Structure 1
Amino acid sequence: MCGIVGAYSVNWENVIPLTCISAQFEQNRGGIYPQGVGLSDGRQTYTSSEPASQFYPRYFKSPQRHMSIAGLRYGTDGSRTDEGNIPPIEVDLGGLKTHICHNGQIPYASVLRDWIETKTSYKHKRTTDTETLAAFLLNKISEKGNVADGAKELVRELEDAAFSVVAIMPNENTLVAFRDRNGYRPLYVYQNDKRGLYAIASEDPALSNNPYINMDDGDIREVQPGEVIVIDTNGLKSHPSATPLIAPTPCKFERIYFARPDTDDGLVCDNRIRLGKKLHELNPVDGFYHVIPDSESGDYAAMGYAHASGMPMYKATPKERYPIRLQDGASLAQRSFMTFDDISRRSLAGSRLKLNRLVADRDVFVTDSVIRGTVIRQNLNLLHAMGAKEVHVRVTFPPTTDVCHQGIDFRGAHELVMGKIDPDILDIYKNSHEVDQINAAMQEWANVYTQGSPNVASFCYMPIDGFEEVVGKGCMRCLGKDHDGGRYDGQIKLPPFLREFSGREYIQYY
């Protein structure tokens, strides 16, 4: 899960400031120390492990270029501490060059890497799958003879892989952007033909909030699944997918956690509020309670729950808004999901303001998700320390049972809190998706941890059907549900050319 940005001016405006500002609007998506942030103008690449808010302002005045890209890394493949993996990545295949940023994950990258090193002269220098994707792109462009057809062939051949990409082709004076056919990862484009200015970003607020972008003369739209966009001195040309999927499967964890609330013209915020209302409809609490959100991504769901229930909502545990720098450069004002280990997550989860007077004896705690269980444990401790005696937990995202292979950082099933409950209960749930037994098991787990202080009186996940009713269908493999509605077993089917090369039909992702 990364943030990517690109910009191109036909009239040779300097787009570096535009790119740098849009990148800072995507700090919710990556760039957390030490995974890094970067910028490329097609001639030179600049990368750093420092925060985006410190890195990008240095380049507002120099260099001055008419095209540029930027990336904020949240590594899910390859070493997270290797500075060579910080985007943009430069790759040269037989004199054909690209500078590339990639959001997503190629689940069969190891097989694709072997194919590239067998079929071409390229030898990898890094451990990130972005390099593998770049080398494959150059191979396809070389085969097809032009950027558009090469990118279209890549999109067609890399089945069931997650990639939203922006890349500079310096030899061709071209910027190309494209999205996988499933639409796993988001991508937006700004088009202003009158001004000759075009921009790409992972989320639309990075474009609409940018002072260098004039919304009166241009439009922002979502890049469609499988679409390839090529921008050069002739302007922008869109190439829709030649083989579109009937039902694309965008990631739904995006909607409840990663995305900014104002993304998709505010629809993300609306979804989160409606999820909170749905939680109250399915799991009401009798009596008078304070509704406490898990700030910040749980705020809007808590608003919805409070509105539907008529109970007051209080932000009793808001996050520290101002970066607290540590000696190693890390910051306590980070998103705990993006950190490396439980020790870091516990540290960050504890870096919250504790507004004791906003907590009642009895509270409803609304959170967006419970993945590893680290943050919910910290929050229960905080609520107890602030005087809560009885807590009802409500979770907008259904139980996370499986490892994601499309760019969400669940490194293994052993990390998930679902791995800590009775395997028989988990197996029943994965076949039926009925949450009652899971809820009871999680209530027991929470009370064992808290030793009854506070008493977790109920623990309720949103069921999958209720979640789909609000946010629509999409990729829910991390919830144990495959695209066809059946049980997901962690197997990834290789594309035809890799099946022929490797002699295997599937790889087991976990």
Structure 2
Amino acid sequence: MLPEIRGLNEECGVFGVWGHEDAARITYYGLHSLQHRGQEGAGIVVTDKEKLRIHKGMGLVNDVFNETDLDRLIGDGAIGHVRYTTAGSSDFINCQPLQFNSQTGSLAVAHNGNLVNANATKRQLEHQGSIFQTTSDTEVIAHLIKRSGYPDVKDAIKSALSMVKGAYAFAFLVEDALMVALDPHGLRPLSLGKIGDGYVVSSETCAFDIIGAEYIRDVQPGELITINDQGIQSEMFSPASAPAICSMEYVYFARPDSNIGNINIHHARKNLGKVLAKESPVEADVVTGVPDSSISAAIGYAEATGIPYELGLIKNRYVGRTFIQPSQALREQGVRMKLSAVRGVVDGKRVVMIDDSIVRGTTSRRIVKMLKEAGAKEVHVRISSPPIVNPCFYGIDTSTKGELVASTKSIEEMREEMGADTLAYLSVDGLMEGIGREKVNDHCGQCLACFTGDYPTEIYPETDHPYDKVIGGK
């Protein structure tokens, strides 16, 4: 595997459509726009009101689907999924959507997030006789639905949702309905849109633009929406808790052209750069951002300081995710396959390098070295988020505290290790200011757990695992 340019990966994206004659192709295009949320697998399930049909596979959306595959997926309702694996295997068997068949009907489910009580619930279900076919925490919800005892699938889903904890944006598909649900804290994004006489749901609003859909609103925390041929129905399956959308959606995960909570991602990142410039100015000749998610913040930093923004780093768009690496030495050089320093921009210059986060620190060290080898006289690293010092249990691949460099080293130690001339992070207050949030009754509408350790849900002992161990995962 080629080393990833970025240090964080988010699990997946979900998409759904109801009431469109070409639901599979609409979902295909929707998944294309969500490809940044997961590149290990993709899948689509459709319904023609009588049966569900599924096609899924490992790889990018383009690799998994062709015209013949889409022609076979006949129906006017569909859900789709793009997947990134954090813990657990990346085998085909875990590729989503997951489909389950029984004598009473079929159910398909796609999930973005992580259930923090999945392990304990799975052990209980196995004790009661359930047999699991995957290692995905998503399968837990299907077993809970089936064991609920409710003949109506909506009641069964509501019962199952009351028993899971953590982060989830679920899309469920049965023969005659599409249903979506968001956890009571709204940790993951999910939006509702309109396309012709039908409806669409998506992890990000950028998918609406590519298919020509109109954004209606965000799905609310604790809300279950049912869409069928009779229309759309909304109800609360749980009282909404203090809203806590993941802060890293604004910092890194979401596409710049998406809106979350009526906040545009590009504008939020640009503002983060401006606040960072106010908090940590430095004398320099050029500002550059690590492609792609840091570019907006770099533009904001440059505007606030008056230092010119330049493309000092270029991303190679044509390098695949896998690459035969015969030696460790070549693996260490892998970042050069994906990023290049522009010597004509940085040679002899004092460079401010804007990045959105530092997780393990290895990539930052390589980029600083690359800039200096290209002739940069000084490299000042500025991070448009606070230090990540706590693991995420809600669907990001930082499940252990020990792997986070900011939790074990001081800023000066990190600076020295990466070879930067200076290093500074955005403050937590600066993060909220940049995004445009204010604390109300001690809540700011965002999950800040990876920065502060203040988790919006119970983590331990629900997982029955020590704080430092890997848990959950798809």
Decide which of 118, 122, 129 is 2:137's aligned counterpart.
129
Match of 1:182 in 2: 185
Aligned counterparts of 1:226 and 1:385: Cα–Cα separation in 2: 51
Aligned counterparts of 2:329 and 2:64: Cα–Cα separation in 1: 27
- 2:254 is the alignment partner of 1:259: yes
Match of 1:386 in 2: 374
Q: Could you say what secondary structure the match of 1:28 adopts?
A: helix
Aligned counterparts of 1:260 and 1:69: Cα–Cα separation in 2: 21
Match of 1:144 in 2: 150
Match of 1:210 in 2: 211
User: Any conservation in 2 of the 1:345–1:375 contact (CA below 8 Å)?
Assistant: no
- 2:403 is the alignment partner of 1:403: no
Query: Once structures 1 and 2 are overlaid, which stretch shifts more, 222-231 or 463-472?
Result: 463-472
Aligned counterparts of 2:352 and 2:374: Cα–Cα separation in 1: 14
Decide which of 442, 452, 466 is 1:508's aligned counterpart.
466
Match of 2:34 in 1: 26
Decide which of 449, 455, 459 is 1:477's aligned counterpart.
449
User: Any conservation in 2 of the 1:91–1:135 contact (CA below 8 Å)?
Assistant: no
Identity across matched positions, percent: 28
Deviation of 1:251 (Å): 0.7
Match of 1:356 in 2: 343
Query: Residue deviations 1:22-77, cap 9 Å, x none?
Result: 0000011002xxx3111112422212113212333434433221111111111124
Distance 1:342 1:30, change over 3 A: farther
Higher relative contact order (CA 8 A, sep 6+): 2
User: Any conservation in 2 of the 1:24–1:56 contact (CA below 8 Å)?
Assistant: no
Deviation of 1:470 (Å): 2.2
User: Any conservation in 2 of the 1:16–1:64 contact (CA below 8 Å)?
Assistant: yes
- 2:415 is the alignment partner of 1:443: yes
Match of 2:111 in 1: 102
Match of 2:441 in 1: none
Aligned counterparts of 1:41 and 1:482: Cα–Cα separation in 2: 40
Q: How many residues align?
A: 440
TM-score, normalising length: structure 2? 0.86
Residue type matched to 1:256 in 2?
A: V
Query: Residue deviations 1:178-231, cap 9 Å, x none?
Result: 110111111111135xx43111111011012214x3x3xxx4311111110111
User: Any conservation in 2 of the 1:2–1:103 contact (CA below 8 Å)?
Assistant: yes
User: Any conservation in 2 of the 1:93–1:122 contact (CA below 8 Å)?
Assistant: no
User: Any conservation in 2 of the 1:178–1:227 contact (CA below 8 Å)?
Assistant: yes
Match of 2:362 in 1: 374
Deviation of 1:468 (Å): 2.1
Distance 1:346 1:114, change over 3 A: farther
Match of 2:8 in 1: none
Residue type matched to 1:22 in 2?
A: G
- 2:118 is the alignment partner of 1:112: no
Deviation of 1:493 (Å): 4.8
Residue type matched to 1:297 in 2?
A: S
Match of 1:284 in 2: 281
Decide which of 464, 472, 478 is 2:428's aligned counterpart.
464
Query: Once structures 1 and 2 are overlaid, which stretch shifts more, 462-471 or 274-283?
Result: 462-471
User: Any conservation in 1 of the 2:23–2:46 contact (CA below 8 Å)?
Assistant: no
Distance 1:373 1:325, change over 3 A: closer
Deviation of 1:149 (Å): 2.6
Distance 1:325 1:273, change over 3 A: closer
Aligned counterparts of 1:393 and 1:401: Cα–Cα separation in 2: 18
- 2:61 is the alignment partner of 1:52: yes
Deviation of 1:325 (Å): 7.3
Match of 1:86 in 2: 95
Match of 1:428 in 2: none
Distance 1:67 1:343, change over 3 A: farther
CA RMSD across the alignment: 2.6
Query: Residue deviations 1:455-504, cap 9 Å, x none?
Result: x22100111122122223311222242147xxx9x94353xxxxxxxxxx
Structure with greater proportional strand content: 2
- 2:164 is the alignment partner of 1:158: yes
Unaligned runs of 5+ in 2: 1-10, 438-443, 469-474
Aligned counterparts of 1:221 and 1:342: Cα–Cα separation in 2: 49
Residue type matched to 2:255 in 1?
A: R
Distance 1:55 1:303, change over 3 A: same
Residue type matched to 1:144 in 2?
A: Y
User: Any conservation in 2 of the 1:204–1:220 contact (CA below 8 Å)?
Assistant: no
Query: Residue deviations 1:263-304, cap 9 Å, x none?
Result: 116611111001100111011113x42101111111010000
Aligned counterparts of 2:137 and 2:237: Cα–Cα separation in 1: 23
Aligned counterparts of 1:178 and 1:144: Cα–Cα separation in 2: 18
Distance 1:137 1:99, change over 3 A: same
User: Any conservation in 2 of the 1:79–1:85 contact (CA below 8 Å)?
Assistant: yes
